[in-house]
Structure 1
């Protein structure tokens, strides 16, 4: 079984929405890294040296490759990444190998067989 790693950088108030959407579309779990900071095309506003931007979270989702594009698109739509600049971004990268996902592979095998 082949996997993709979906990386989502999102405003912290949308983290739960993204996680719920990803699970509904085939993701089996995620790792959340809290309190990331990012900068887009425009520099962040500051007030006496303190940034006035919302905190971001980094979500790491290891998903089966046949489900990855659908999960990526539904997460972006649910979190409205293309509607408002600075809301968040998501992208996927190939995973050469993964260990520790045997229990997920067993469950995914049954789900994926119907879709392939």
Structure 2
């Protein structure tokens, strides 16, 4: 089974909804990192302070066959193709993976078989 890492940078307020949508689309466990996003053009607010948007970086490891399905759901639900949306998602192919839970592997196998 070939694996892919799907990384989604979503606004903090959408974190739970994004995780739920991804899991409904077939994703398994997720690692969540918190960060700040500063665009190309800085946004100024009161007293010259720069507004930094808080984001959640969601990292999913899943079979390649499921990754496009999860990506499609995230693109549609969070309007990722809209340049005004401060969210981003991309995939990275993985050549070696260790430490995946056996229950998760069985879930992936089941999900892929139901797709066929």
The CA distance in 2 between the partners of 1:96 and 1:56, in whole Å, is 28
Where do residues 28-43 of structure 1 align in structure 2 (5 Å cutoff)?
A: 28-34=28-34, 36-43=35-42
Q: Which residue of 2 aligns with 1:61?
A: 60
More deviation in 47-56 or 74-83?
Answer: 47-56
* TM-score (normalizing by structure 1): 0.86
Q: Which residue of 1 aligns with 2:3?
A: 3
What CA deviation, in whole Å up to 9, does each residue of 1:7-52 have, x standing for no partner? 1111100111110100000001111112x11233422324335332
The size of the alignment, in residue pairs, is 115
Would you identify which runs of 4 or more consecutive aligned residues in structure 1 move more than 4 Å?
A: none
The CA distance in 2 between the partners of 1:74 and 1:107, in whole Å, is 19
The CA distance in 2 between the partners of 1:27 and 1:52, in whole Å, is 32
CA contact (8 A) 1:11 1:55 kept: yes
Q: Which residue of 1 aligns with 2:24?
A: 24
Q: Quick check: 1:80 aligned with 2:79?
A: yes
Structure 1 residues 60, 111: closer, same or farther in 2, change over 3 A? same
Unaligned runs of 5+ in 1: none
